[in-house]
Structure 1
């Protein structure tokens, strides 16, 4: 596809794709700028979706005048349209060029417990929020409303520089913001108490922007939004839907809501901050978030339990107490848990090879393997990506992977980095990486090329027997499987692709199955997908669930372990066993007795001793009768 910028033709190369949203694709122009192109109705992502095709047509029609009238004088940390991208005649607006941000993380990551324990501190989050507060205030002073304020429309560069993106959806003059994100949608925008569902009936406003900012504050400081957790009323008649919780203001402050285990405790925040959040989400207080509440936050890590808090003393344990020893063996009903490992530091990564668990943790200023040996010194760094292969530790950042072997100089390998994530993986026998348009495996005499992949865009996962990869770049989307040992790959897989913005992806393997999990943001909602792919590339089953719906698929993005045609899922209520039955995925058994030993943030692995549960500081093995 060709577009024109300032009268010059630009060839759009899918290999230069930077990201994909629900409404547009973004490409690297190679000159410090990025090109955002709106998806036309005929875009492959909209195939078979007439409502999305109609919305795309309406959106393009409005952009013909809206982008030409975009206000000047926006704050420096708003990524604004710089040059319009048009057809050859310069009449039809197709998108725009904008400043390209490098080495960024979406603000959403800072609300993930795993990202936080990997080194993103609460103090850093506060700095991000303070800068974002100033930017939002300046946007409002310019007579503009963000409208769809959410944590995917904010990118964090460096330590704490927060940038607002997707400015084409901003609201100004006669142009209303047509999109919204349910988790950040102000309930006061719903008509008649929201009888029609979570669809806004009133335009966005300065007040609704600040409501979204308050959601961001809560998620950033506690790793849970106002309507997180699970509603567990005393009687079945009291149950309500996720939408009903919003409409009835049934928040995490409600006594009948089970607070999510991976989240930081409410008591880690000062009373004045908690009181303000309660007034916003329960009592419908509106207005600018008080900046002094953020300025006054001072976090410290408890020397005893390691929890970060902004109080005078640790709210979760007695001051200066020593860490209590976890019992070696605990039992509840049909579940017995045996402690395998415990650290005063933080568990960072784990994997299982041939039934043997291997792990990496950070303690005393260094990353260490399961036997305590140091593999890398330095503070916790959430930008690092890890893989373990026997005694070998692989660590990647950006387009480079270091192979760490005790007693040897680290080997450094260049790899592709789609959306900043290094494309590498490992199993017990081999290492794999995507680079330069090829998929490579380490061999006895050097790297071996397995097959061709889309350069710079391939996501990669591997299990004991086979691997799975995919790409979504511009109008291109594809997936493939490959044997763990033999050369060649089978591509052209017909997966049930999400049409929205891909937020997260994970994959677990066992036997002939790969269980691929995709999280997308589409139509204002967060949707979870599970696709079971066989080693021959056939799709054996798929399922879809809304995030936070209480199901095994909607409960989290990690905490799954495959066992042939079965899957174990960790939730805050225990374990769920899901089975693949005649092309369907069915939850067949619950293990509520596992509740004390797991949560939705746990990682699960099938090992020789049983089911290994890797938490923040402890590893236990469960056996169920």
Structure 2
């Protein structure tokens, strides 16, 4: 694709792509600049989507005027348009250049326990939101409204925040007509609808409403409308998407609070009361900065939870050691026998089942240890460090490098491609696999062996025992592929409609000849979660989209033969395929005490291993 900036032709190549959203593609220009190119109605992402094509056309027309009138007095941490990207004649605006914020993460990740993982505490989160509060206040002072304000258009670097996608802001009669369902103010929406439908334009109050949602989500790992609404009166049931319209929050006694979330009682009374007023009673206005400034966090010496109160609200905080089941304890509940095989006060970071045994890696507060308590290395946790286990070897990936640590062997180092902030490598019983300079490689007898070509720094992949799966998206290009773990060549003829929006998360799990690929996208203001069942020869056997319980968390699932086991807050579910349809074939409610939605499952010859953040159970179901 060719564009022109100040009359100079610039050719945009797929391997320079660094971002992809629902309305635009972003490419890197040098070390400190990027260019955002709006999708045209004929963009491949919009193929067969008439409404999206219409919206793209309307937005391109509006941008011809809006970008030329964009305010120049916004705070410096708002990433605003700089030079216009046009056609050759300079008449039609196709996008704009902007500053590139490198080594930053979307605010969305700070609401994920797996990302924070004992590394980023609540004090740091509050500092981030104090910084964001200052920026939002300054934006409002110059008469601009953010509009579609959400946790994907805020970047975090340290404790500094940067607001991106500023072209959607409201100013001078240019209104923001797009919204993200999770963050849109219900006061602007049709209350009788089954999901949010805006009837009024965004305003400063709606910006602060979004701010409050993001803060609550980052402090508690749950949104105000999280959990499961189970009214005793079945006639009061409503779709999950309509809960904000009916003000049914986690404070409602008929909402089952998510197990992985932090109980909201850890918040100060003032902050908790403010959240209740905003989400239950429609209080609006600027978020009081004093609620952030007055928070004082401490960690309970008994249960380890962070709280903003004088004493821990979750325990008596008296110096009494609670009864903890010893290793080997067996608990019977109905048809399930659960044996506790490991526990730690630290954090379990990775697990793997191979060679007829479960392997795991955990951090005890200062050291990284394997399942036999051998110290692999010493250090602090980092949210961007990735781990894989292969037999006795521990693979550690970060910033374009993978180090293999094995007992009595010198560390081995590999240069590896990144995809965003993630290093691209995996391992199985055969060896390790990685991407470098756009090539998919594996261990060989004489060194690395070439499998096939992929798109550099844009590809994600996973491997099972027999085959692997991967995909890449950049600009107009979307490709999915499978490959044999022991042979050269990739099959990229898969037809998987990944979607037109921004990729939020992806995961994959394998049995011998099948893989289950999960991904979530932000499309048209909605979070869409999907699953594809794929055979080793590249046949897509089933496609599924939905918000069922088994799709709430994409990670940690376990494929066994032709079916899938999924952990939920209510126990394990078994998912199967009937033709091209996926459905829940069986529920195991007796597993509920030992499982939550974040539990990682591994099938073994002696039963099913359930790995949580601090415990591992061996489950046997009769």
Indicate whether the TM-score tops 0.5. yes
Q: Give, in whole Å, the separation in 1 of the partners of 2:262 and 2:590.
A: 23
Structure 2 contact 193–242 (Cα < 8 Å) conserved: no
SS in 2 for 1:552: helix
SS in 2 for 1:447: strand
Q: 1:581 aligns with which of 578, 581, 586?
A: 578
Structure 2 contact 338–618 (Cα < 8 Å) conserved: yes
* Structure 1 residue 355, shift from structure 2 partner: 4.1
Structure 1 contact 113–601 (Cα < 8 Å) conserved: no
Cα deviation digits, residues 279-320 of structure 1 (max 9, x gap): 000010001111111112222222232222222222222324
The more displaced of 490-499 and 385-394 is 490-499
Instruction: Determine the structure 2 residue equivalent to 1:4.
Output: 4
* Structure 1 residue 570, shift from structure 2 partner: 0.9
The more displaced of 386-395 and 534-543 is 386-395
RMSD, matched Cα: 1.4
* Aligned residue runs from structure 1 range 191-206, under 5 A: 191=190, 193-195=191-193, 197-206=195-204
Q: Give, in whole Å, the separation in 1 of the partners of 2:26 and 2:365.
A: 41
Cα deviation digits, residues 90-143 of structure 1 (max 9, x gap): 111101111111111111111112112252221211111111111111111111
Instruction: Determine the structure 2 residue equivalent to 1:591.
Output: 588
SS in 1 for 2:546: strand
Q: 1:243 aligns with which of 236, 241, 244?
A: 241
* Structure 1 residue 196, shift from structure 2 partner: 6.8
1:472 matched to 2:470:
no
* Structure 1 residue 513, shift from structure 2 partner: 0.6
Q: Give, in whole Å, the separation in 2 of the partners of 1:272 and 1:138.
A: 25
Structure 1 contact 19–473 (Cα < 8 Å) conserved: yes
Q: Give, in whole Å, the separation in 2 of the partners of 1:69 and 1:377.
A: 54
Q: Give, in whole Å, the separation in 1 of the partners of 2:380 and 2:310.
A: 25
Instruction: Determine the structure 2 residue equivalent to 1:39.
Output: 39
1:528 matched to 2:526:
no
Instruction: Determine the structure 1 residue equivalent to 2:300.
Output: 302
Instruction: Determine the structure 2 residue equivalent to 1:316.
Output: 314
Structure 1 contact 532–542 (Cα < 8 Å) conserved: yes
Q: Give, in whole Å, the separation in 1 of the partners of 2:377 and 2:144.
A: 47
* Structure 1 residue 213, shift from structure 2 partner: 0.2
SS in 1 for 2:549: coil
* Aligned residue runs from structure 1 range 211-290, under 5 A: 211-290=209-288
Instruction: Determine the structure 2 residue equivalent to 1:160.
Output: 159
Q: Give, in whole Å, the separation in 1 of the partners of 2:192 and 2:516.
A: 37
* Aligned residue runs from structure 1 range 507-518, under 5 A: 507-518=508-519
* Structure 1 residue 380, shift from structure 2 partner: 1.7
Cα deviation digits, residues 216-240 of structure 1 (max 9, x gap): 1100100100000000111322211
Q: Give, in whole Å, the separation in 1 of the partners of 2:238 and 2:195.
A: 13
SS in 2 for 1:316: coil
Q: Give, in whole Å, the separation in 2 of the partners of 1:515 and 1:196.
A: 31
TM-score, scaled relative to structure 1: 0.97
* Structure 1 residue 4, shift from structure 2 partner: 0.6
SS in 2 for 1:182: coil
* Structure 1 residue 354, shift from structure 2 partner: 4.1
* Structure 1 residue 258, shift from structure 2 partner: 0.3
Cα deviation digits, residues 139-170 of structure 1 (max 9, x gap): 1111100001100111111x211111000101
Q: Give, in whole Å, the separation in 2 of the partners of 1:126 and 1:350.
A: 32
- 5+ residue gaps, structure 1, are none
Instruction: Determine the structure 2 residue equivalent to 1:175.
Output: 174
SS in 1 for 2:123: helix
Q: Give, in whole Å, the separation in 2 of the partners of 1:369 and 1:458.
A: 30
Structure 2 contact 299–306 (Cα < 8 Å) conserved: yes
TM-score, scaled relative to structure 2: 0.97
The more displaced of 608-617 and 221-230 is 608-617
Instruction: Determine the structure 1 residue equivalent to 2:352.
Output: 351
Q: Give, in whole Å, the separation in 2 of the partners of 1:296 and 1:375.
A: 41
The more displaced of 488-497 and 58-67 is 488-497
The more displaced of 199-208 and 605-614 is 605-614
Q: 1:572 aligns with which of 569, 573, 597?
A: 569
Structure 2 contact 472–480 (Cα < 8 Å) conserved: yes
Q: Give, in whole Å, the separation in 2 of the partners of 1:325 and 1:47.
A: 57
Instruction: Determine the structure 1 residue equivalent to 2:109.
Output: 109
- 5+ residue gaps, structure 2, are none
Cα deviation digits, residues 454-474 of structure 1 (max 9, x gap): 122110101111111110011
The more displaced of 367-376 and 281-290 is 367-376
Cα deviation digits, residues 190-227 of structure 1 (max 9, x gap): 14x24374111000000000000000110010010000
Instruction: Determine the structure 2 residue equivalent to 1:545.
Output: 546
SS in 2 for 1:330: strand
Structure 1 contact 305–344 (Cα < 8 Å) conserved: no
SS in 1 for 2:532: strand
Structure 2 contact 384–421 (Cα < 8 Å) conserved: no
* Structure 1 residue 241, shift from structure 2 partner: 1.1
Q: Give, in whole Å, the separation in 2 of the partners of 1:62 and 1:196.
A: 30
Q: Give, in whole Å, the separation in 2 of the partners of 1:321 and 1:400.
A: 45
Structure 2 contact 399–418 (Cα < 8 Å) conserved: yes
Structure 2 contact 403–414 (Cα < 8 Å) conserved: yes
Q: Give, in whole Å, the separation in 2 of the partners of 1:620 and 1:124.
A: 33
Instruction: Determine the structure 1 residue equivalent to 2:137.
Output: 137
* Aligned residue runs from structure 1 range 600-615, under 5 A: 600-615=597-612
Instruction: Determine the structure 2 residue equivalent to 1:420.
Output: 421
Instruction: Determine the structure 1 residue equivalent to 2:290.
Output: 292
Instruction: Determine the structure 1 residue equivalent to 2:324.
Output: 325
* Aligned residue runs from structure 1 range 70-109, under 5 A: 70-109=70-109
Q: Give, in whole Å, the separation in 1 of the partners of 2:345 and 2:243.
A: 37
SS in 2 for 1:58: helix
